[in-house]
């Protein structure tokens, strides 16, 4: 993804897997893409773990396959389903795991294992760089009647794609018995629900991405600070730490923190972006206004976060990687970039996010696999998609990438990137994580939010109350 002055204040379509997701104050997921399409909105951003179940089918017996092969992480996964016929078939798999990205490298042994397990299913792998161009190509292929059978999609693309009647419902596939379906008892609550629209499952989640607080352990020690804990609050321990970590001036100034995701601060104060029925913007209410003002004050009052003008050609990752930023926010896949891509020398740790006045909050995002509604080989497409995210295949992914997957049984798989306990921080956050509103035109809503947040939080040209009032005024007509 292209670098921007401050990740926490930008919005892009990419939010999930191959390259990293972060958009307007947040996120991403395995690394990938995202944006939103045309169906009645669901409850916009309640914690995903509290959403209605994806289906009513009984859960299957928890799989023991992951544990049984734990001693052999590179062993080929067992076959998860049978192809629709003995004849050779071809499926087209479009994805953003290009060879230049960790996800692309990690996927190679998984694809090889699938070929060995299902030689009758030939996979035409089509890596395509993520972002707007990815979805433009996907929609063009669909409009031309030649869609990929299986494709990666970001969480906030489900609504637009489902609104175009492009996605096959995965309910019947997921409810198949045994390894043909999904072991829902082994899946972290809230994940499948987040990929569900109007009661139907439209995406098979590949990962589980929440946000963590990354911190420079050396700077913390020098400032006499204790390591962050789950009991920290935004306006007490965290803010005091940010102030203690800020020192110096000019080109060598050390900053206490980057800006935390704005969505999370709103939820932590008990607010939201849209009303529960998705028909009204509620960002002009007190919780959201106070959260945005808190962000603005971090830059222009407390001066603990860098200004856009101070960043210039850098971003907050650059500052953290060079030891000039005490705390940074990102998803679990950040660990892979810290170790593998950037080869960061600064000592670091990761902790749960601080709490707000309404309790803890986080944001859930992920890359999922969709199956085209017009696919001529849907069962074979499901067989392939299910194999890619089976607990057995997760072992192969984890050897290369530091992603957290949706299975409880795989959280303790040894990874060369995770330190003990780190993966669990991100998995545990799913219990209180929210998803952004899943409405068809959410990208338009984000454009409005971006504009006003830029004036308030990036430039300091207007107070939060004026910004959130304008946001609500301009967003509400988009919801009618």
Number of domain units in the chain:
2
Is residue 82 a part of any domain in this protein? yes
Is residue 80 a part of any domain in this protein? yes
Cα–Cα distance measured from residue 22 to residue 423, given in angstroms and rounded to the nearest whole number: 19
pLDDT in tens, 52-62: 333 323 333 22
In the predicted model, what is the mean pLDDT of residues 446-462? 96
Residues 164 and 58 in one domain: yes
Range of the domain at 244: 211-259+305-361
pLDDT in tens, 43-95: 334 454 333 333 323 333 222 222 222 333 333 334 444 555 557 999 999 99
Q: Above 60 in pLDDT, residue 33?
A: no
Residues 225 and 354 in one domain: yes
In the predicted model, what is the mean pLDDT of residues 448-452? 97
Per-residue confidence at 395, pLDDT binned at 50, 70, 90? Answer: confident
Cα–Cα distance measured from residue 61 to residue 380, given in angstroms and rounded to the nearest whole number: 23
Q: CA 49, 52, 58: angle at the middle one, nearest 5?
A: 100
Mean pLDDT score of the chain: 83
The residue among 398, 415, 434 that closes a domain is: 434
Residues 348 and 369 in one domain: no
Is residue 130 a part of any domain in this protein? yes
Q: What per-residue confidence (pLDDT) applies to 69?
A: 29
Phi, psi of 110, deg, nearest 5? -70, -45
Instruction: Give residues with Cβ within 8 angstroms of 259, minimum separation 6.
Output: 6, 8, 9, 25, 295, 298, 299, 305, 316, 329, 457
Residues 329 and 228 in one domain: yes
Q: Above 70 in pLDDT, residue 132?
A: yes
Residues 325 and 379 in one domain: no
Residues 230 and 320 in one domain: yes
pTM value is 0.81
Q: What is the CATH number of the domain that holds 218?
A: 3.40.190.10
Q: Above 50 in pLDDT, residue 427?
A: yes
Instruction: Give the residue among 155, 164, 74 at the shortest CA–CA distance from 113.
Output: 74
Is residue 43 a part of any domain in this protein? no
pLDDT in tens, 304-359: 999 999 987 788 998 999 999 999 999 987 777 777 666 777 899 999 999 999 99
- Compute how many other C-beta atoms are within 10 angstroms of the C-beta atom of residue 139: 16
With pLDDT > 70 as the criterion, what percentage of the chain qualifies?
81
Instruction: Give the residue among 149, 196, 208 at the shortest CA–CA distance from 169.
Output: 196
Q: What per-residue confidence (pLDDT) applies to 84?
A: 53
Is residue 442 a part of any domain in this protein? no
Is residue 473 a part of any domain in this protein? no
Residues 202 and 216 in one domain: no
Cα–Cα distance measured from residue 211 to residue 362, given in angstroms and rounded to the nearest whole number: 6
Helix, strand and coil in the chain, % to nearest 5: 40, 15, 45
In the predicted model, what is the mean pLDDT of residues 447-475? 97
pLDDT in tens, 205-251: 998 899 999 999 999 999 999 999 999 999 999 999 999 999 999 88
Q: What per-residue confidence (pLDDT) applies to 62?
A: 27
Residues 112 and 240 in one domain: no
Give the pair of three-digit tokens for residue 12: 């892009």
Residues 186 and 222 in one domain: no
**CA trace torsion 400, 402, 405, 409 (10° rounding):** 80
Is residue 6 a part of any domain in this protein? no
Instruction: Give the residue among 313, 311, 446 at the shortest CA–CA distance from 10.
Output: 446
Q: What per-residue confidence (pLDDT) applies to 129?
A: 94
Q: Which residues pair with 200 in a beta bridge?
A: 197
Phi, psi of 121, deg, nearest 5? -105, 110
The residue among 318, 338, 361 that closes a domain is: 361
Q: Above 80 in pLDDT, residue 435?
A: yes
Residues 332 and 424 in one domain: no
Residues 338 and 390 in one domain: no
**Sign of the alpha-carbon dihedral angle for 342, 258, 435, 432:** positive
Instruction: Give residues with Cβ within 8 angstroms of 328, minimum separation 6.
Output: 213, 214, 215, 257, 258, 316, 317, 319, 320
Is residue 97 a part of any domain in this protein? yes
Residues 218 and 336 in one domain: yes
């Amino acid at each position: 993804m292209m670098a921007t002055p401050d990740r926490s204040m930008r919005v892009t379509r990419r939010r999930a897997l191959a390259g990293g997701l972060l958009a307007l104050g947040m996120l991403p997921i395995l690394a990938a893409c995202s944006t939103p399409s045309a169906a009645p909105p669901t409850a916009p951003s309640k914690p995903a773990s509290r959403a209605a179940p994806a289906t009513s089918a009984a859960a299957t017996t928890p799989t023991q396959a992951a544990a049984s092969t734990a001693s052999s992480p590179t062993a080929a996964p067992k076959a998860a389903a049978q192809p629709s016929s003995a004849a050779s078939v071809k499926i087209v798999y479009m994805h953003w795991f290009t060879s230049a990205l960790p996800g692309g490298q990690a996927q190679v042994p998984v694809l090889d294992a699938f070929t060995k397990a299902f030689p009758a299913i030939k996979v035409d792998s089509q890596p395509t760089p993520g972002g707007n161009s990815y979805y433009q190509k996907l929609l063009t292929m669909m409009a031309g009647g030649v869609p990929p059978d299986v494709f990666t999609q970001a969480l906030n693309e489900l609504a637009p794609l489902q609104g175009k009647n492009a996605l096959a419902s995965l309910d019947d596939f997921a409810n198949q018995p045994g390894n043909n379906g999904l072991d829902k008892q082994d899946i972290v609550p809230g994940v499948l629900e987040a990929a569900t629209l109007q009661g139907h499952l439209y995406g098979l989640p590949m990962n589980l991405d929440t946000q963590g607080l990354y911190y420079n352990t050396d700077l913390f020690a020098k400032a006499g600070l204790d390591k962050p804990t789950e009991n920290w609050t935004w306006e007490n321990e965290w803010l005091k730490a940010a102030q203690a970590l800020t020192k110096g001036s000019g080109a060598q100034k050390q900053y206490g923190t980057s800006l935390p995701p704005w969505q999370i601060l709103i939820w932590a104060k008990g607010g939201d972006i849209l009303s529960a029925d998705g028909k009204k913007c509620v960002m002009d209410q007190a919780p959201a206004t106070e959260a945005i003002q808190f962000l603005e004050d971090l830059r222009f009052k407390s001066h603990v976060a860098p200004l856009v003008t101070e960043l210039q050609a850098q971003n907050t990752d650059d500052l953290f990687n060079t030891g000039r930023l005490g705390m940074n926010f990102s998803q679990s896949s950040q660990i892979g970039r810290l170790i593998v891509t950037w080869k960061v020398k600064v000592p670091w740790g990761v902790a749960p996010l601080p709490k707000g006045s309404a309790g803890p909050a986080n944001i859930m995002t992920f890359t999922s696999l969709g199956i085209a509604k017009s696919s001529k080989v849907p069962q074979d497409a499901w067989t392939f998609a299910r194999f890619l995210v089976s607990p057995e295949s997760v072992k192969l992914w984890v050897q290369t990438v530091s992603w957290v997957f949706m299975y409880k049984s795989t959280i303790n798989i040894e990874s060369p990137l995770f330190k003990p306990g780190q993966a669990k921080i991100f998995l545990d956050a799913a219990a209180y994580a929210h998803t952004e509103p899943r409405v068809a035109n959410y990208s338009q809503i984000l454009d409005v939010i971006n504009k006003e947040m830029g004036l308030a939080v990036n430039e300091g040209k207007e107070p939060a109350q004026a910004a959130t009032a304008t946001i609500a005024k301009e967003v509400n007509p988009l919801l009618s």
